[in-house]
Amino acid sequence: MQTNLTELYRKYRPKNFKGIVGQPEAVKVMSGWIANGNTPHAVLLTGPSGTGKSTNARILAKKLGCQPPRDLVEINAADFTGIDTVREIRRQAAYPSLTGGNRCWILDEIQAASQPSQQGLLKLLEEAPPYAYFFLCTTNPEKLLTTIKTRCSEIKLNPVSVEDLVLLSQSILAKEGVEDIGDEVLEKLADASDGSPRKCLVKLQQLIELPDDASRFKMLSKDVQFEATIKDLCEVFTKTQRKSWKEVAKIVKSLNETQEPETIRRAVMGWLSSALIGGWARGVDNNMLAEILSYWEMNFYDSGKAGVVLAAFRSWTFNK
């Protein structure tokens, strides 16, 4: 099926809190802030990739009357590591809006900012002007200075349930007039989306372009193969099966060529966590599982594919 769809996740990005999927507690808190006129001047939005941190920050900014480019500034912290950008933010924040309203700064991937940069934000977060609001977004709050976190009100976004992702997909397909994708395909799609609406919609767009459900199941089956590969890898880590590092390295290389580092990390953590609570590896020592699991707990945002290789080598070496 050929369609004119481009970037579904952008086209259907929520414009208000009613459009946010699967985050009732977070929406309740933020809606209360707006309704009562007591939105904190420093907000930290945390959660897995694709769950809506930046989207919620934009909605908050909109509710506060901030519009780009003058009164709403978005900065990806991965693009700066020095103090100069923070100094520029501080300089800008010293001046109120020309319209007399609020001003907002969204700092995405703030965990990538250097310690000097984070330290440079401290005074601004603690003593923000009455018209200035700062929304910090991160997948990895552990990498932030404690003093940053204590100055912010935190909003935690959780992975979205399979049920909610199916409903989201059905709603979008109805809006797009697509009627030939079965519910079983949508359930499999939702299950493969790791709780991320963005990932779900990216995959949904790919499915729409396929001619029938058989083709769609075939594409999604690649995710099943990925899960099987992760299971094999984790069985090596836990000595359920034996492989040389050369064999393991070949598997890791293949995964790195086809998957994002964070997808690999979350999948490995899922299997190891399941083993730790007795889900699939009976007889495996829990202390060993916890130690191996710790090699995968840190976000691979900075280290990327090299981080996957290092974590895999440490996991394999632990049980050599």
> Tens digits of per-residue pLDDT, 135-158?
999 988 888 999 999 999 999 999
Assess whether 27 and 151 both reside in one domain: yes
Structural domain includes residue 228: yes
Residues 73 and 151 in one domain: yes
CATH number at 128 reads: 3.40.50.300
Asked if 243 and 127 sit in the same domain, the reply is no
Buried b (16+ CB within 10 A) or exposed e, 275-297: bbeeeebeebeeebbeebbebbe
- Measure the CA angle with vertex 151, ends 149 and 155; round to 5°: 60
Clarify whether residues 231 and 150 are in a common domain: no
Amino acid identity at 256: N
- Tell me which of 106, 126, 156 is where a domain ends: 156
Give residues with Cβ within 8 angstroms of 134, minimum separation 6: 41, 42, 43, 104, 105, 107, 121, 124, 125, 128
Same domain flag for 232 and 111: no
* Phi, psi (deg, nearest 5) at residue 274: -60, -40
Token representation of residue 141: 């709050």
Question: Is residue 250 in a domain?
Answer: yes
Domain end marker among 156, 176, 204: 156
| Percent of the chain whose predicted confidence (pLDDT) is above 70 | 95
Same domain, 131 and 229: no
Residue 289 has pLDDT above 90, yes or no: no
Range of the domain at 268: 223-320
Per DSSP, the residues of 113-148 read S-HHHHHHHHHHHHT--TTEEEEEEES-GGGS-HHH
Q: Are residues 43 and 142 in the same domain?
A: yes
Instruction: Mark whether 33 and 151 lie in a shared domain.
Output: yes
Average pLDDT on 253-279 reads 84
Q: Residue 258 domain-assigned?
A: yes
pLDDT tier at 5 (50, 70, 90 boundaries)? very low
Quickly state the pLDDT bin for 287 (edges 50, 70, 90): confident
Instruction: Report if residue 188 sits inside a domain.
Output: no
Residue 185 lies in a domain: no
In a domain, 230, yes or no: yes
Q: How far is CA 148 from the centre of its chain?
A: 20
Average pLDDT over residues 183-209: 92
Compute the distance between CA of residue 310 and CA of residue 133 in angstroms, rounded to an integer: 39
pTM of the model: 0.75
What is the tens place of the pLDDT at every residue in 117-137? Answer: 999 999 999 999 999 999 999
Q: Name the nearest CA neighbour of 291 among 267, 317, 265.
A: 317
Q: Are residues 141 and 236 in the same domain?
A: no
Whole-angstrom Cα distance, residue 96 to residue 89? 13
How many structural domains comprise the chain?
Answer: 2
For residues 145 and 240, membership in a common domain is answered with no
The answer to the question of residue 15 being in a domain is no
Separation between Cα atoms, residue 227 and residue 233, nearest integer Å: 10
Tell me, yes or no, whether 29 and 145 share the same domain: yes
Whether residues 152 and 249 fall in one domain: no
Domain end among 139, 156, 173: 156
Each residue of 45-82: pLDDT tens digit? Answer: 999 888 999 999 999 999 999 988 889 999 988 777 67
Q: How many CA atoms lie within 13 A of 217 on its CB side?
A: 7
CA-CA distance, 188 to 221, in Å (whole number)? Answer: 9
Residue 101 included in any domain:
yes
Token duo for residue 281 = 């590896």
